[in-house]
Structure 1
């Protein structure tokens, strides 16, 4: 394991960048905010990262107390990586970066990779309250845990239990919301997002 590089500056921002400033580190955090992930799953959802770099970043993050590695019990018997409490505290950092970077998205380029769950954190910013929200997009389904203070804040696929609300939208609508060109309440009022469900969150979304 290589020694940690440092800016050697007595500044909290510099110290933070000592830990998460390397290329790919914050995107690994983005993936692990969905909960424990196997190495192969992380590699599949981080197109462009080499196996060597991913392995190196994961070792660095474990050393720095951002992640842990554990073995699943049989019959899984695979190793998974997950965020520590310190690592989960990076959620608002990623939320802020996501909001700041939204104007840079523009139209999707032909070379851009995309995963449905990459829209999870931007959409989460527009939701208040607490509950489980299932989102259905052309690229696939994912779910959000609104107001979650512990554990995963989103996950791939349909909600594992009965969702408090379900939102269905097309790719164009989702991208406009993510870029900040359209608010979620405006999209719902315009009929571009369909909200179903009887939970408090569903009712709040329909009445916003």
Structure 2
């Protein structure tokens, strides 16, 4: 009996609002739970799966793997193998994925009044304050500020004049300035309760300019 040709299984249809609307189309891509928080992590730079899982407390391994697969399919994320001798893969945002930074900034501005005091169940990562701080740190376009909180360090690059804003987890080589503060002050800055100058004057923040090399 001749072998029957194997039937390829149909690709699952992506869930859609089926609305001819740009906002609905955007939500088709990024409206699922965890997707935008994965974007938040990857805006800080390429990350290994294990690092992503560690900085997304509460997400299951199956959920994270599924969301990353969806984001690869939708060309928001690319998976890349690191050069030897490191034997690991990292995920990184595509240009389209990086274009979501203004969306995260708008969401952070919208959500800042909801923060209040941290709840006992709240996880905290220092670099989660990078997105809201992009809008409140003064300085020239391209200026890089390294921020130190009790929870860790991150750095931000201020945008403007055609220079894109950005941020990264951990310290950076030769920043233009160093800012040391705490999460409560970060919250006050992002909610507009304080300016950076007021925070420094009150002793709630310390900013040190790096002396340029001769």
User: TM-score, normalised on structure 2?
Assistant: 0.86
Larger Rg: 2
How many Å separate the matches in 1 of 2:123 and 2:178? 25
Shift >3 Å, 4+ stretches: none
Structure 1 residue runs of 5 or longer lacking an equivalent are 201-208
Say what the alpha-carbon RMSD is for the aligned residues: 1.7
Verify: 1:189 aligned to 2:195, yes or no: no
Verify: 1:178 aligned to 2:193, yes or no: no
Moved more, 126-135 or 61-70: 126-135
Verify: 1:122 aligned to 2:132, yes or no: yes
Moved more, 29-38 or 125-134: 125-134
Q: 1:1-208 alignment to 2 at 5 Å? A: 2-127=12-137, 128=139, 129-147=141-159, 148-149=163-164, 153-159=166-172, 161-198=173-210
Moved more, 87-96 or 139-148: 139-148
8 Å CA contact retained: 1:70, 1:81:
yes
Number of aligned residues: 197
Name the structure with the higher helix share.
1
Structure 2 residue runs of 5 or longer lacking an equivalent are 1-10
- Structure 1 residue matching 2:13: 3-state secondary structure: coil
How many Å separate the matches in 2 of 1:112 and 1:162? 33
How many Å separate the matches in 1 of 2:47 and 2:129? 18
